[in-house]
Amino acid sequence: MGALDANYFARLENILWLYEQSYDPKRVLLCFDERPCFLIDNVLTPVPMESGKSKREHHEYVKNGSCTVFVAVEPLSGMRIIKVYKRRTGKEYALFMREVAKHYPEAEKIVLVQDNLATHSTASFYAHLKPQIAHKLALKFEMHFTPVRSSWLNMAEIELSALSRQCLNRRIGSQERLETEVLAWVKARNKAKVKITWQFSIQAARGKFKNHYPLEKAKRSKVNKGK
C-alpha cells in the first residue's frame, strides 16, 4: 500500500465512487489489468488419470519463455475481453484498447479503471497508432487510476485470480495452447455472465482509514503535540 496521503484518498474515493454507480450502457465501466504467464512444458508425458486418482506430472520441466494476459472485465454485466500477447509494452496496450473499443460502439465513454504503469496512458495510443485512431481512442476512454501500490482496488485483479485458479493452474508449454485454453475459459464465463460484486464502499473506507485522512491526522498530531 502506498503512502496514505491526500492523493491516495482522492484516488481511493474516486474508484469507490465509480464502483457505486448503476450500470449505464453509455458510460461502460471496465477494469483492466495484465499479468505475465510463464510457459512451462513437461519433459515427459504426464501419466493419465486413473479412477479416483489425479494426473501425475514428472518433477522435471522445461521453460519456454513467457507471455502476458491482458484482461478488461465489465463487472456489472459479467462480460470480459482477454487477449494474450508475447510482450507487455505500450504497443500491446494500445492494440488491446483498440480491440476493447470495438466491443462498445454505442458507448459514449469507456470508464477505465487501471493501475499506474507508465504504458497505461493515451500517450501509448499516439506512440503506436495512427493519429486519427489515437485521437478517437483518447476521446473514447475516460481513465481512472488506483492509488500507488493499491492494485487490490482494481476488480480486474479478481478476474485474473479466477483465471489463474481455474485455467492457468497447470503446465502450459506454448503461447498458442495458452491462448486456446484462455479463450475457451472466457467463452464459458461470458456465456454464464459471471459478475463481480464489490463490497468495499466509500463509507467503509472512511471508517477503516478514519485516523489516516489528512485533516484527521493533522488534528490528532496537533492534540498530541499539546499534551
Q: Torsion over CA of 7, 96, 118 and 110, rounded to 10 degrees? A: -20
Phi, psi of 183 (to 5 degrees): -65, -35
Residue 211 grid cell: 485516523
Q: What is the pLDDT of residue 170?
A: 80
Q: How many whole angstroms from its chain centre is CA 129?
A: 23
User: What CATH superfamily classification does 6-43+57-219 receive?
Assistant: Ribonuclease H-like superfamily/Ribonuclease H (3.30.420.10)
Residue 165 grid cell: 485458479
- The answer to whether 49 touches 16, Cβ cutoff 8 Å, is no
- The pTM of this model reads 0.86
Q: What is the pLDDT of residue 215?
A: 83
Q: What is the pLDDT of residue 109?
A: 98
**Residue whose entry in the numeric block shows the C-alpha cell 483518447:** 138
Give the type of residue at 138: A
Residue 91 grid cell: 504497443
Q: What is the pLDDT of residue 155?
A: 98
Cα–Cα distance, 73 to 84 (Å, whole number): 15
Cα–Cα distance, 96 to 85 (Å, whole number): 9
Mean pLDDT per 10-residue interval, the chain, length 227 residues: 90 98 98 90 56 57 82 98 96 98 98 96 98 99 95 96 90 88 96 97 96 82 61
Distances (CA, A) of 122 to 22, 112, 113, 146, 155: 26, 12, 14, 16, 21
Q: What is the pLDDT of residue 63?
A: 75
Q: What is the pLDDT of residue 217?
A: 78
- The answer to whether 3 touches 31, Cβ cutoff 8 Å, is no
Q: What is the pLDDT of residue 38?
A: 83
